[in-house]
Amino acid sequence: MNQTPTAGRSAILLLAHGTPDQLDEMAAYLDKVTGGRPMPQHVIEELQHRYAEIGLRNEPLPEGPPLTRWTLRQAEMLQEAVDTKVYVGMRNWHPYIADTVAQMKADGITHARVLCLAPQNSRTSTGLYRRALESALNGAFTYDFIAGWADEPLLAQAFAEKLEPTLVEARAALGTQVPVVFTAHSVPCRTILATAGESSRPGAPVPADGIQNYGATSTPDPYPVEAKQTAARVASFVSLTDPDWFFAFQSQGVAGAPWIGPTVEETLKALAEEGHKGVVIQPIGFLCDHVEILYDIDIHFRDAARGLGMQLWRPESLNDSPTLVRAIEQVLARP
């Protein structure tokens, strides 16, 4: 439930996932991601490898890791647009939500509009961010929490603006229509099911077959439906018809539990078997560059496509898209 604002200073708080600043922080970072469940050493090393492939080192990058850099840039652009102080809090790394809340309190903020930079609402993202926020607040200020904004037309427009030139390039290269695969991050199967009971109770031990305790619920998670709805809106903007686009879930976990699909790998194989020689992949669940884009798509999926005799194109990420910033501004202005 949103809380009633009091007289005083208002601000905007953007919540995001967070990412390590350097390779030797990986174990500590994953401890945050899993809610304390230990990760096997081979998983830590595999993720260190992936992050190394996109430029992370054992010393901080001057410009910061991509996700942090672009998230902070989005906050700067939003602050310029709305002339309101904009803060950023990360759930799994610096700047932590709790530290940002403490800074907001010190700055005299009495009310905040809070937006999660994961447009499709899910207990695995939005829900966990809100719980982290509530845990950190301790009455510091009141807030309005925006749980999901996958329906914002400007969000779909922002993705379409990046997709259109890539489609033109791919079609020109192959001289034919090229299928588009829209993607969003996969989640463990159990998190999208309607569940209730002691095993889901907040504070209960993290299940051995899952990454996190997402809390009790009596309704299915809206995430898969909202992700596909975003894809459909983007497809409509660029006049793609049903035979021209597909949807897959990417970046399934490297340890434990079944995750929702279909996977990108399965989808690429099916497209190759249909005779396609190229594919465009656009992730519509991510607002900026990070490892799931720069490694999973640009390296892993591109290699997989090449092995199937296909070329792969990816539109630029939204990153500092002015249309994305206008989308966020519109969402924050909703009653």
Domains 9-149+322-333 and 153-313 equal at CATH topology level: yes
Torsion, Cα 165 170 171 176, to 10 degrees, reads: -160
HEC string for 64-87: CCHHHHHHHHHHHHHHHHHCCCEE
Sign of CA dihedral 321, 324, 329, 330: positive
pLDDT tens digits for 29-63? 999 998 888 899 999 999 999 999 999 999 999 99
C-alpha distances out from residue 316 to 19, 76, 81, 235, Å: 20, 20, 23, 16
- DSSP string across 31-63: HHHTTTPPPPHHHHHHHHHHHHHTT--SS--TT
Residue 42, annotated as binding a ligand: no
* Cβ neighbourhood burial of 186 (10 Å; 0-12, 13-18, 19+): buried
CATH of 153-313, one of 3.40.630.30, 3.10.450.50, 3.40.50.1400, 3.90.870.20: 3.40.50.1400
Cis preceding linkage at 95, omega within 30: yes
Q: In this model, does residue 187 exceed pLDDT 80?
A: yes
**9-149+322-333 under CATH 3.40.50.2000, yes or no:** no
pLDDT surpassing 90 at residue 8: no
The band of 205, judged by pLDDT with boundaries at 50, 70 and 90, is very low
The amino acid at residue 220 is P
Sheet holding 311-313, edge to edge: 245-250, 180-185, 278-283, 311-313
User: What does the pLDDT read at residue 237?
Assistant: 97
Residue 217 confidence (pLDDT): 53
> Is 134 annotated as a binding-site member?
no
Candidates 100, 156, 159; CA nearest to 129 is 100
The pTM of this model reads 0.91
pLDDT tens digit string along 145-181?
998 999 999 999 999 999 999 999 999 999 999 999 9
Angle at CA 222, nearest 5°, toward 216 and 224? 120
201 pLDDT higher than 90: no
Domain ranges in the chain are 9-149+322-333, 153-313
